[in-house]
Amino acid sequence: MNSDILILARLDNTRLPSKHLQLIGDTPMILKLVKRLSMAKKFRKIIVCTTTDHSDDQLVEILEKESILYFRGDVNDTIKRLLDAANHFGTDLIVNVEGDKIYTDPLFVDKIVDELQNNHVDFVIGNDSPNEFNPFNHLIHGVIPAGIRKTCLEKVYNSKITNNTDTGYHEFFTKSDLISKKYIIIDELSKKDIRLTVDYPEDLELAKKIFQELGDHFHYYDILELIKKNPMLLKITQKIIDDWKINYEKNVCDFSLNDVNS
């Protein structure tokens, strides 16, 4: 089965404008992420999934210049964009990486592929509980991507009621009774309040410091060790954790599903 990494990225951001093109060192963030993901072993292609909106033209220009595969799809329906990209490239198993998750660990990319290939699960994601999905754990979701079978993606797409799945789309899968799902729980990641994503200027400031210290080729345990030695790094993003939660709860999409495929 074809296992591909699909990176969701768009430039129409308000909190950190054009965040995927922000520089870390002298390299745009999206290129840092692609470079890191290329260290994984169990994938066929890396594809950046952006939108047809003109605001993403600059992103596409950079991807074309760097010979990085891309797909332009629906502006507001993230699930449709992923499904259309998977159909276009013949993807069976999707490693779903969000473009602001630049710390995504290639070790977990390979683990996600193994889970989808070797177990009877439709959807797999990192979590800090075996029972209830926690979208607010920025350490776990910062390093562990999601895995989705295309057949599962089709089922959720055909069942959802809304066409706006831009914020919180993973919860369509975690809340659905139509699919089988699995949570990956790593104890050393479950009990730490560390924000690893890039959505605000403070996140970018932290990312620059981490990449300056660790380079491009590092794993989650290197980040934990760095923060253990330099706990003051967490002060950089501490004040925006509550702001992000408020924004998420304000903009999260409607998870209503029809039961036509149950």
Tens-digit pLDDT profile for residues 132-188: 999 999 999 999 999 999 999 999 999 998 999 988 899 999 998 889 999 999 988
For the chain, give every domain's residue range: 3-251
Q: What is the CATH number of domain 3-251?
A: 3.90.550.10
Tell me: the pLDDT tens digits for 6-45? Answer: 999 999 988 999 999 999 999 999 999 999 999 999 999 9
Report the alpha-carbon distance of residue 216 to residue 198 in Å, rounded.
Answer: 16
| Other residues' Cβ atoms within 10 Å of the Cβ of residue 108 | 22
CA distance between the termini of the chain: 25
What are the backbone dihedrals phi and psi of residue 44, each rounded to the nearest 5 degrees, phi first?
-100, -50
What are the backbone dihedrals phi and psi of residue 125, each rounded to the nearest 5 degrees, phi first?
-155, 155
Q: Which residues pair with 96 in a beta bridge?
A: 6, 146
Q: How far is CA 56 from CA 6, 19, 26, 60, 98, in A?
A: 16, 11, 21, 6, 16
- The set of long-range contacts for 221-230, using a CB threshold of 8 Å and a minimum separation of 24, is 221/188, 223/103, 223/143, 223/194, 223/196, 224/188, 224/192, 224/194, 227/194
Contact of 52 with 73, CB cutoff 8 Å: yes
184 vs 119, higher pLDDT: 184
pTM: 0.94
User: Confidence class of residue 260 from pLDDT cuts 50, 70 and 90?
Assistant: very low
Question: Residue 98: enclosing H or E segment and its boundaries?
Answer: strand 93-98
Our CA dihedral for 252, 128, 110, 177, rounded to 10 degrees, sits at -60
Write out the two tokens for 87: 């159909």
